[in-house]
Amino acid sequence: MNCLQKQITLSGKSRGFHLVTRELLEQLPELKSYKIGSAHFFLQHTSASLSINENADASVRDDLEKHLHVMVPEDAPYFDHIYEGSDDMPAHIKTALLGCEVTIPITNGELALGTWQGLFLGEHRDHGGPRSVLVTLRGETG
């Protein structure tokens, strides 16, 4: 079994959900050498999330953002953590709900995602900036 760990930087994004599968894979050419295994993606931030969802219809991303904004509104009167802006505490809650890591099987040098699946960065801050993802590949190479 072979292992590889690599830090990848995603470009800064506006608030919302962004399909980042291609951006991640462009920085991970080593994936092609893995015949079988798993790829673990860990987003090293507390105000953004990483998830798998539909990659075909952009309205899914828009609806996710709208729904989370209703579930976790800004300026809730019970928030104590308000020092970094009105979008910060809601961002932490959204990250806690959605998570910051995913593991995907590798088959013949590719992520074994379903036809309509893609990796999404949920940017929960108005101006989050670049985001770091630590990727760990494990499996058989050849």
Rounded mean pLDDT, 46-70? 96
More confident residue, 127 or 71: 71
Burial status of residue 48 (CB atoms within 10 A of its CB: 0-12, 13-18, 19 or more):
buried
Burial status of residue 38 (CB atoms within 10 A of its CB: 0-12, 13-18, 19 or more):
middle
Is the CB of residue 16 less than 8 Å from the CB of residue 62? yes
Rounded mean pLDDT, 8-15? 97
Rounded mean pLDDT, 129-137? 98
| pTM score of the predicted model | 0.96
DSSP 36: E
Residue percentage of the chain with pLDDT more than 90: 96
Q: pLDDT value at position 142?
A: 86
